[in-house]
């Protein structure tokens, strides 16, 4: 439920990524009803959009995907049962491979899902029976795809999605444990809770009510993959994706470039014809009713250093980009607008809030920080969140005083702690109290940073300086991300940089991080435990979203901010730049694979940059 | 200059002093080298001063606004926290010199005894040592250092936790003794059959005693030359390792400063980069020139 | 001579074993079990156990006595050490953290690395050899002195600074070169110009000084003096006599440098976005992918060992004195 859920001290460095999967392109010849009057597709050639990512794509097997970049690319190739509506806010799910939203039984345990009958896998040599022609997608394909995740021999990172949720599925996983070789696992072995009633009807039976399951069915790892491709490519499947999505992989030069091209057999899906107020004026409905995808080719460069990526964007070689920290001032004025120089180039700025909260977590089982509430209060009070934002994020964020980011239903600005503000004098008093609780001078506190780059070093230094001012000695240890993760998971870190980026628009996504039984190695890596909070979570996690549920969410948040198991720092705000020739761009916090909606005014681009 | 053709007369034990004295006289004639030697000594003095806490112990203090440009007040400007880049540059001397010093110490500590043992005992001992260093020298230097630093970081050695900088000391030291070992081995083989060694063994001196009292002093100048040139390599290696996140982190070092400046450069904040580069350039140049002069002075055979 | 070659050939496997031992020691013993690292977030103990099995961490380090008791004597080799041995010798390094085949990654990385290092290497060789010949002829003169000074200054600059300043001024500020990028084939040549130049710049100081010493040694020899006395033209002396006689030290340096070409230039690749082996190494360090680091270390070392062997054998064939040492 969380994509690349944890960020480290290097959160600043990650600012630039996540723009990779944006695609744009004018409705080329292939899309019906193209009336742009700028010449036919035949003499223009294919419409290509250019973007870049600062992280490498590791592989394109949905089962293994856990990072944002790979998700962004692979979701152009694969489809899930559901997807987010591109324009509507608050975020809303609509069918993708499914024909309609699921029928849920009275007790909330059985979900019956009808599939649309016109989804085909992309043509690929793995479909030997049909001479390379893609086969129609059936309900059995989804069950097979999910069983791959359950098969422990596959060492999928995504088992948490189904863990304990579906009837008989955990038993299937148990069974795979006993199988000697990966190849001997029998995928036809029935699972009680996963049933293909007929080719186009899927029935899921849950172990207990779980209203958020629909969001999971829109999450990339649950996408449909064809069995033939696995039989044909084996372990190399991750380099030969075969899906049902709007694009297929044309070329992939690892470490430098990925090219996706239009999938000619993509089912008929149309650009939405309604959105939220203002979309019409913003031109986001100009392509309403046109067949997707609108562009022919998505060209993604992999550029790991910020500066070259930025320069490529300025040269007009990329259609869209984030803003590197170090170049922010050249692009954005102090009043948070685009500089005239950039506006003249035809660059457009889009600012939006991300669904993320960042904090520095305490290990609540640690004898020093875990048992000392005044200390945790002091450590919250000593942090000047505004200075933090200025120094490290060019103010691209808002201070966080509680758990939920403002955009999530259930957020309440009045839920906060008197200690999540900057007050060094009060912090000093609290340090005195903390010393009394500890029974002597405070020992050195160790902060674990999961990065060794210069930004992490500067962050570490800044924290140490902040704490020194109030009489707390902080030592920072820097290590690579896997090692830091390991320390956190084994409860051997005292304090560590952490954050959550939600990718479902539901508060439960955040609240489960504070649920006692989810302690390490589970998602509650602070090992926070409060019986009252636990009781509330148990109730709200099985409820349909409602005002009563929001009340429970509020209560639980208040308990957490009173206990302060972490130093809350900020919610991020994204600044995305694009050229005005890129059409239909609307930021979407949860969805991936939005490239199919984007469009491109190729004529304007040619005028501006001659490309 | 026909020095290359003159026969190199091996110094006898008693002639040792005059060799050093002669070398010093030769070295002194080279004015540039003398200046450079002064520069090296200055760096060393600064390094010791910082380590002892006499110099720039206050580097953490903010002296001005974030990223102030160089001025009379802040000779090399300030960094993100308004800390003086000049102080950081001075402070960095400590880390860089300590890396070079400990790595050299370790490499001499391993290389010299091993080389001497191999050369003196020959036989199985020699075979094993030669095999060991042939193996290590088959692994490209930077790769070996990286592999060592990577594998060592975060592990414990004799109950002693290896942090960033200690694993750098170890990685550099453990990988750089090979050249010295080979050199000493060759020299020891050459010296072994010389009269003074034969005489010493004849008088009943033990083998280790012979090696350390008689052979090693006669190859000290080689160690010194090797050390002076290797030092530069270590200082540069610290920069690369810092960039790869394997070096010091909580204290300013030149490598860390350059790594920080990597991102600052595009905003036009060039001073941190310039300060660290200047500091490295200064000591490298001084060591290179003084080292060359030292070699010429100590080993007239290869004078060029 | 034959016996020397045979000895040399027999020695090579010993070195290979040594390299295997070093990598084993570093990545299996010193570093230990990294399976929970690989497992990623929220991994259950079962998943970690499964990975331990997959990567062989569940096996004893050196010999498997337990298996030997159960499955017969040969199972004694069912240990981490022998599996390490086997995977290296069969060049089957398994898969990286991201489940990519390591041998594929290595092969893919070799081409970009070579496309960068080969021009650097050749350019450096030609420039530094010709420059050193010129200065050697004018030994002690102002030209010689200034070249030596510039060389020493060049050697004193940290390479990271050279790359950063070069990229910043020549590419960003002046726009003479593309800042960054990679494309296979000739289309990508433009991306290699600046990194290749900077790579040459970084290596020039040391190389010129090395070759200058070589040339000076040669130039003092009698045949050159004779040739000069005979009044032969400078160019003729340079190419006919000097270069010919300096060939042996040049070739030995060259042959030894070739395996390093595969490694590429770690820093240049990183800064200019060239997806070569150096880049792969940096990435593997960041991801703690010891399997990849180990494979890279092993392969490059083996190339080096073989290159070394080839040189020595050639030497022995050319110059019989070598085999006496």
DSSP for C239-266?
A: IIIIIHHHHHHHHHHHHHHHHHHHH--H
Task: Please state, in angstroms and rounded to a whole number, the distance separating the CA atoms of residues B152 and C32.
Answer: 10
First-last CA distance in chain A: 40
Residues of chain A positioned with their CB less than 8 A from the CB of B263: 306-307, 324-326, 454-455
**Rounded average pLDDT over C117-141:** 84
Q: Specify if B124 maps to a domain.
A: yes
* Cβ of residue B13 closer than 8 Å to a chain C Cβ: no
User: Tokens 């030149």 belong to which residue?
Assistant: B254
Three-class SS of residue A473? coil
Q: Specify if B11 maps to a domain.
A: no
pLDDT at A554: 92
Which residues, other chains included, contact B109 with Cβ-Cβ below 8 Å and sequence gap of 6+? B173, B177
Residues of A numbered 263-322 whose beta carbons fall under 8 angstroms of chain B's beta carbons: which are they? Answer: 306-307, 310
- A390-425 per-position pLDDT tens digit: 888 888 999 998 899 988 888 888 887 889 999 999
Give the Å distances, CA to CA, from B251 to A476, B94, B96: 11, 10, 11
Provide the token pair at C204: 């020039």
Residue A14 has pLDDT above 60, yes or no: no
Task: Please state, in angstroms and rounded to a whole number, the distance separating the CA atoms of residues B194 and A286.
Answer: 95
Contact status, residue A524 vs residue A515, Cβ threshold 8 Å: yes
Residues of A numbered 302-341 whose beta carbons fall under 8 angstroms of chain C's beta carbons: which are they? Answer: 302-305, 307-309, 311-312
Handedness of CA A356, A357, A359, A362 (dihedral sign): negative
Contact status, residue A355 vs residue A590, Cβ threshold 8 Å: yes
Residue B163 has pLDDT above 80, yes or no: no
- Could you tell me the residue ranges of all domains in chain C? 2-89, 104-318
Task: Please state, in angstroms and rounded to a whole number, the distance separating the CA atoms of residues B95 and B254.
Answer: 8
If one counts every other C-beta atom within 10 angstroms of the C-beta of residue B38, the result is 12
Looking at residue C30, the DSSP 8-state letter turns out to be I
- B270-290 per-position pLDDT tens digit: 899 899 999 999 999 998 888
- Which of C180, C264, C270 should be substituted to probe chain A, the one whose Cβ sees the most A Cβ atoms within 10 Å? C180
Which one of A34-48, A417-431, B132-146, B157-171 scores highest in mean pLDDT? A417-431
Which residues, other chains included, contact A8 with Cβ-Cβ below 8 Å and sequence gap of 6+? A449, A450, A451, A456, A481, A484, A497, A498
Task: Please state, in angstroms and rounded to a whole number, the distance separating the CA atoms of residues B86 and B271.
Answer: 9
Q: Specify if A300 maps to a domain.
A: no
Residues of chain C positioned with their CB less than 8 A from the CB of B152: 30
- Phi/psi of residue B29, each to 5°? -65, -25
My answer on whether A388 and A255 are in the same domain is no
Kind plus residue range of the DSSP H or E element containing A93:
strand A93-95
Q: Cβ contact (<8 Å) for C155 and B284?
A: yes
Give C160→chain B minimum CA distance, Å.
Answer: 7
pLDDT at C259: 63
Provide the token pair at A74: 């692979």
Task: Please state, in angstroms and rounded to a whole number, the distance separating the CA atoms of residues A176 and A173.
Answer: 5
- Which of C161, C284, C290, C297 should be substituted to probe chain B, the one whose Cβ sees the most B Cβ atoms within 10 Å? C161
Q: Cβ contact (<8 Å) for B139 and C158?
A: no
Contact status, residue A292 vs residue A271, Cβ threshold 8 Å: yes
Closest CA to A424 of A384, A480, A476: A384
Give A127→chain B minimum CA distance, Å.
Answer: 44
Task: Please state, in angstroms and rounded to a whole number, the distance separating the CA atoms of residues A413 and A380.
Answer: 17
pLDDT at A335: 87
Helices and strands (H, E) in chain A, number of each type:
18, 20
**Alpha helix stretches (DSSP H) within chain B:** 16-29, 31-51, 85-121, 123-137, 141-152, 164-192, 195-202, 207-209, 216-243, 254-264, 271-298
Contact status, residue B141 vs residue B236, Cβ threshold 8 Å: no
Which residues, other chains included, contact B269 with Cβ-Cβ below 8 Å and sequence gap of 6+? B67, B77, B261
**Rounded average pLDDT over C85-90:** 82
CATH superfamily for C104-318 is: MetI-like (1.10.3720.10)
- pLDDT tier at A84, thresholds 50, 70, 90: very high
The β-bridge relationship of strands A356-362 and A495-501 is: antiparallel
pLDDT at A24: 28
A177, A305, A489: residue with CB nearest C273: A305
Question: A576: which strand partners?
Answer: A350
A59, A155, A157: residue with CB nearest C100: A59
Residue B303 has pLDDT above 50, yes or no: no
Looking at residue A477, the DSSP 8-state letter turns out to be E
* Cβ of residue C33 closer than 8 Å to a chain A Cβ: no
Q: Which residue has the higher pLDDT, A513 or C300?
A: A513
Tell me how many domains chain A contains. 2
Chains touching B (at least 3 CB pairs under 8 A) are A, C
Closest CA to A232 of A241, A224, A223: A241
Residues of chain C positioned with their CB less than 8 A from the CB of B246: 285
First-last CA distance in chain C: 11
Residue B126 has pLDDT above 50, yes or no: yes
Task: Please state, in angstroms and rounded to a whole number, the distance separating the CA atoms of residues B227 and A484.
Answer: 37
Residue A5 has pLDDT above 50, yes or no: no
Contact status, residue A36 vs residue A529, Cβ threshold 8 Å: no
Residue A450 has pLDDT above 80, yes or no: yes
Residue of C nearest to B272 (CA): C161
* Cβ of residue C92 closer than 8 Å to a chain A Cβ: no
Residues of chain B positioned with their CB less than 8 A from the CB of A461: 81, 250
**Exposed e or buried b for every residue in B256-265, given b needs 16+ CB within 10 A?**
bbbbbbbbbb
**Percent of all residues in chain A with a pLDDT value above 70, rounded to a whole number:** 93
Contact status, residue A59 vs residue A378, Cβ threshold 8 Å: no
Cβ burial of B95 (10 Å; 0-12, 13-18, 19+) is: buried
Residue A455 has pLDDT above 80, yes or no: yes
Give B172→chain A minimum CA distance, Å.
Answer: 20
- A290-329 per-position pLDDT tens digit: 999 999 999 998 887 777 788 889 888 899 998 888 788 8
If one counts every other C-beta atom within 10 angstroms of the C-beta of residue A555, the result is 17
Q: Specify if B19 maps to a domain.
A: no
B142, B151, B265: residue with CB nearest C266: B142
Q: Cβ contact (<8 Å) for C172 and A521?
A: no
Q: Cβ contact (<8 Å) for C161 and B280?
A: yes
Q: Which residue has the higher pLDDT, C11 or A207?
A: A207
Angle, nearest 10°, between helix axes C189-219 and C244-263?
A: 150
pLDDT at A116: 92
What are the strands, taking DSSP E only, across A160-238? 194-198, 201-205
Question: A361: which strand partners?
Answer: A496, A566
B91 HSE (CA, 13 A, CB side): 20
Q: Specify if B62 maps to a domain.
A: no
> Per-residue DSSP letters for A232-273?
HHGGGGGGS---SSSEEEEEEETTTEEEEEE-TT----B--S
Contact status, residue A233 vs residue A273, Cβ threshold 8 Å: no
Closest CA to A322 of A13, A10, A16: A16
ipTM: 0.77
B164, B245, B266: residue with CB nearest A326: B266
Residues of chain B positioned with their CB less than 8 A from the CB of C221: none
Domain containing B92: what range? 28-51+83-302
* Cβ of residue C195 closer than 8 Å to a chain A Cβ: no
The CATH number of whichever domain residue B251 belongs to comes to 1.10.3720.10
Rounded to two decimals, the pTM is: 0.79
The CATH number of whichever domain residue A391 belongs to comes to 3.10.105.10
Task: Please state, in angstroms and rounded to a whole number, the distance separating the CA atoms of residues A148 and A126.
Answer: 18
Q: Specify if B87 maps to a domain.
A: yes
pLDDT at B160: 62
Residues of chain A positioned with their CB less than 8 A from the CB of B246: 452
- A143-180 per-position pLDDT tens digit: 999 999 999 888 888 888 898 899 999 999 999 988 88
Contact status, residue A451 vs residue A8, Cβ threshold 8 Å: yes
Residues of A numbered 356-395 whose beta carbons fall under 8 angstroms of chain C's beta carbons: which are they? Answer: none
Residue of B nearest to C212 (CA): B304
Task: Please state, in angstroms and rounded to a whole number, the distance separating the CA atoms of residues A196 and A194.
Answer: 7
Residue of A nearest to C37 (CA): A482
Domain containing A360: what range? 356-572
* Cβ of residue A522 closer than 8 Å to a chain C Cβ: yes
Residue A380 has pLDDT above 60, yes or no: yes
Which residues, other chains included, contact A609 with Cβ-Cβ below 8 Å and sequence gap of 6+? A315, A316, A317
Which residues, other chains included, contact B185 with Cβ-Cβ below 8 Å and sequence gap of 6+? B114, B115, B116, B118, B119, B126, B129, B130
**Rounded average pLDDT over C16-21:** 88
Cβ burial of C273 (10 Å; 0-12, 13-18, 19+) is: buried
- A42-81 per-position pLDDT tens digit: 455 788 999 988 877 888 999 988 777 888 899 999 999 9
Provide the token pair at A412: 């309440």
Give the Å distances, CA to CA, from A318 to A15, A50, A579: 17, 5, 9
Q: Cβ contact (<8 Å) for C161 and B131?
A: no
Q: Cβ contact (<8 Å) for B143 and C300?
A: yes
My answer on whether A401 and A539 are in the same domain is yes
Q: Which residue has the higher pLDDT, C100 or B229?
A: C100
Contact status, residue A272 vs residue A85, Cβ threshold 8 Å: yes
Task: Please state, in angstroms and rounded to a whole number, the distance separating the CA atoms of residues A448 and A489.
Answer: 12
Q: Cβ contact (<8 Å) for B267 and A457?
A: no
CA-atom Rg of chain C in angstroms? 25
Contact status, residue B259 vs residue A305, Cβ threshold 8 Å: no
pLDDT at C272: 84
- B178-217 per-position pLDDT tens digit: 888 988 888 888 877 777 777 777 777 777 777 777 777 7
Q: Cβ contact (<8 Å) for B232 and C217?
A: no
pLDDT at B158: 64
Q: Specify if B76 maps to a domain.
A: no
User: Tokens 């984030």 belong to which residue?
Assistant: A322
Angle subtended at Cα C215 by Cα C209 and Cα C216, rounded to the nearest 5 degrees: 90
* Least confident piece of the model among A107-111, A373-377, C256-260: C256-260
Residue C231 has pLDDT above 60, yes or no: yes
Task: Please state, in angstroms and rounded to a whole number, the distance separating the CA atoms of residues A380 and A374.
Answer: 10
Contact status, residue A181 vs residue A157, Cβ threshold 8 Å: no
Looking at residue A220, the DSSP 8-state letter turns out to be G
Q: Specify if A5 maps to a domain.
A: no
Q: Cβ contact (<8 Å) for B256 and A454?
A: yes
């Amino acid at each position: 439920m969380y994509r690349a859920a944890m960020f480290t001290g290097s959160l600043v460095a990650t600012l630039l990524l996540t723009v990779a999967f944006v695609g744009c392109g004018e409705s080329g010849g292939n899309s019906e009803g193209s009336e742009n009057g700028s010449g036919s597709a035949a003499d223009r050639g294919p419409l290509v959009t250019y973007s870049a990512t600062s992280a490498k794509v590791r592989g394109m097997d949905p089962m293994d995907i856990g990072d944002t970049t790979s998700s962004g690319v692979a979701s152009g190739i694969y489809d899930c049962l559901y997807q987010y509506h591109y324009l509507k806010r608050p975020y809303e799910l609509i069918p993708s491979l499914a024909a309609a939203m699921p029928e849920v039984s009275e007790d909330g345990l059985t979900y019956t899902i009808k599939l649309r009958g016109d989804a085909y896998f992309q043509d690929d040599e793995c479909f030997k029976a049909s001479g390379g022609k893609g086969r129609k997608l059936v309900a059995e394909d989804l069950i097979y795809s999910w069983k791959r995740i359950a098969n422990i021999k596959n060492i999928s990172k995504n088992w948490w999605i189904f863990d304990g949720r579906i009837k008989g599925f955990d038993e299937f996983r148990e069974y795979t444990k006993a199988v000697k070789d990966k190849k001997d696992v029998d995928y036809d072995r029935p699972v009680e809770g996963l049933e293909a009633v007929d080719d186009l009807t899927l029935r899921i039976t849950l172990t207990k009510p779980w209203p958020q399951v629909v969001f999971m069915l829109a999450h990339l790892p649950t996408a449909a993959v064809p069995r033939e491709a696995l039989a044909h490519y084996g372990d190399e499947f991750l380099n030969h994706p075969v899906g049902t999505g709007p694009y297929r992989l044309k070329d992939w030069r690892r470490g430098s470039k990925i090219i996706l091209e239009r999938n000619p057999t993509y089912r008929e899906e149309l650009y939405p014809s309604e959105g939220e107020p203002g979309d019409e004026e913003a031109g986001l409905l100009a392509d309403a009713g046109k067949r997707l995808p609108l562009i022919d080719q998505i060209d993604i460069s992999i550029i790991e250093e910020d500066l070259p990526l930025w320069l490529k964007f300025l040269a007009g070689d990329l259609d869209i980009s984030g803003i590197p920290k170090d170049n922010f001032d050249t692009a954005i004025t102090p009043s948070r607008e685009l500089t005239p120089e950039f506006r003249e180039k035809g660059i457009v700025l889009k600012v939006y809030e991300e669904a993320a909260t960042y904090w520095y977590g305490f290990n609540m089982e640690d004898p020093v920080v875990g048992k000392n509430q005044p200390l945790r209060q002091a450590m919250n009070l000593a942090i000047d969140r505004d200075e933090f934002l200025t120094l490290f994020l060019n103010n691209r964020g808002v201070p966080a005083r509680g758990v939920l980011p403002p955009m999530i239903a259930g957020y309440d600005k009045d839920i906060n702690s008197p200690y999540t503000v900057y007050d060094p004098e009060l912090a000093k008093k609290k340090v005195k109290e903390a010393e009394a609780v500890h029974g002597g001078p405070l020992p050195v506190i160790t902060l674990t940073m999961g990065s060794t780059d210069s930004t992490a070093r500067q962050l570490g230094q800044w924290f140490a300086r902040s704490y020194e001012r109030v009489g707390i000695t902080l030592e920072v240890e820097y290590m690579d991300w896997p090692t830091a993760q390991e320390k956190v998971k084994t409860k051997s870190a005292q304090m560590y940089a952490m954050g959550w980026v939600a990718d479902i628009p539901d508060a439960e996504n955040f609240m489960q991080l504070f649920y006692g039984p989810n302690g390490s190695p589970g998602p509650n890596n602070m090992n926070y435990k409060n019986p009252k909070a636990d009781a509330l979570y148990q109730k709200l996690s099985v409820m349909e979203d409602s005002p009563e549920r929001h009340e429970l969410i509020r209560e639980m948040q208040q308990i957490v901010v009173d206990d302060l198991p972490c130093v809350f720092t900020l919610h991020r705000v994204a600044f995305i730049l694009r050229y005005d020739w890129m059409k239909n761009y609307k930021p979407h916090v949860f969805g991936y694979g939005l490239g199919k909606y984007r469009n491109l005014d190729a004529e304007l681009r040619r005028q501006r940059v001659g490309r | 200059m026909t020095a290359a053709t003159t026969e190199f007369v091996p110094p006898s034990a008693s002639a040792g002093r005059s060799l050093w004295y002669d070398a010093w006289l030769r070295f002194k004639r080279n004015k540039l080298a003398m200046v450079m030697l002064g520069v090296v000594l200055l760096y060393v003095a600064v390094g010791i001063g910082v380590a002892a806490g006499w110099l720039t112990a206050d580097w953490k203090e903010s002296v001005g606004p974030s990223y102030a440009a160089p001025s009379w007040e802040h000779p090399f400007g300030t960094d993100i926290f308004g800390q003086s880049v000049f102080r950081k540059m001075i402070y960095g001397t400590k880390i860089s010199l300590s890396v070079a010093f400990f790595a050299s110490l370790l490499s001499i500590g391993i290389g010299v005894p091993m080389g001497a043992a191999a050369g003196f005992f020959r036989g199985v001992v020699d075979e094993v040592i030669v095999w060991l260093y042939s193996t290590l020298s088959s692994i490209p230097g930077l790769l070996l250092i990286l592999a060592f630093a990577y594998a060592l970081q975060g592990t414990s050695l004799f109950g002693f936790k290896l942090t960033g900088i200690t694993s750098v000391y170890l990685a550099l030291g453990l990988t750089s003794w090979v050249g010295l070992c080979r050199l000493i081995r060759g020299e020891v083989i050459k010296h072994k059959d010389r009269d003074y060694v034969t005489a010493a063994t004849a008088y009943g001196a033990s083998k280790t005693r012979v090696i350390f009292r008689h052979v090693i002093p006669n190859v000290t100048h080689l160690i010194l030359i090797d050390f002076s040139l290797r030092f530069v390599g270590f200082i540069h290696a610290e920069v690369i390792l810092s960039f790869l996140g394997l070096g010091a982190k909580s204290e300013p070092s030149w490598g860390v400063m350059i790594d920080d400046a990597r991102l600052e450069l595009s905003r036009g904040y060039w001073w941190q980069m310039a300060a660290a580069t200047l500091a490295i350039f200064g000591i490298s140049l001084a060591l290179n020139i003084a080292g060359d002069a030292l070699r010429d002075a100590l080993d007239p055979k290869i004078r060029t | 001579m034959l016996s020397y070659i045979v000895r040399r050939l027999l020695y090579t496997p010993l070195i290979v074993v040594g390299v295997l031992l070093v990598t084993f020691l570093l990545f299996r013993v010193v570093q230990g079990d990294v399976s929970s690292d690989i497992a990623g977030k929220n991994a259950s103990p079962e998943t970690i156990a499964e990975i331990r099995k997959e990567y062989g961490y569940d096996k004893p380090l050196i010999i498997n006595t337990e298996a030997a008791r159960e499955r017969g004597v040969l199972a004694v080799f069912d240990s981490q050490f022998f599996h390490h041995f086997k995977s290296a010798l069969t060049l089957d390094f398994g898969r990286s953290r991201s489940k990519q085949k390591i041998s594929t990654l290595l092969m893919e990385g070799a081409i970009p690395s070579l496309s960068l290092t080969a021009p650097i290497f050749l350019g450096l060789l030609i420039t530094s050899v010709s420059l050193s010949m010129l200065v050697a002829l004018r030994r002690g003169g102002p030209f010689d002195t200034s070249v030596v000074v510039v060389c020493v200054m060049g050697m004193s600059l940290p390479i990271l600074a050279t790359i950063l300043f070069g990229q910043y001024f020549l590419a960003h500020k002046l726009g003479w070169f593309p800042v960054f990028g990679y494309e296979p084939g000739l289309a990508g040549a433009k991306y290699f110009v600046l990194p290749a130049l900077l790579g040459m710049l970084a290596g020039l100081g040391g190389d010129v000084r090395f070759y200058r010493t070589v040339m000076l040694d040669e130039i003092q020899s009698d045949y050159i003096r004779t040739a000069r006395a005979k009044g032969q033209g400078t160019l003729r002396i340079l190419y006919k006599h000097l270069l010919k006689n300096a060939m042996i030290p040049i070739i030995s340096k060259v042959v030894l440098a070739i395996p390093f070409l595969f490694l590429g230039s770690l820093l240049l690749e990183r800064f200019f976005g060239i997806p070569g082996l150096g880049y792969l190494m940096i990435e593997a360090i960041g991801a703690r992918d010891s399997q990849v680091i180990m494979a890279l270390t092993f392969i490059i070392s083996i190339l080096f060992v073989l290159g070394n062997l080839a040189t020595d054998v050639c030497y022995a064939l050319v110059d019989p004195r070598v085999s006496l040492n």
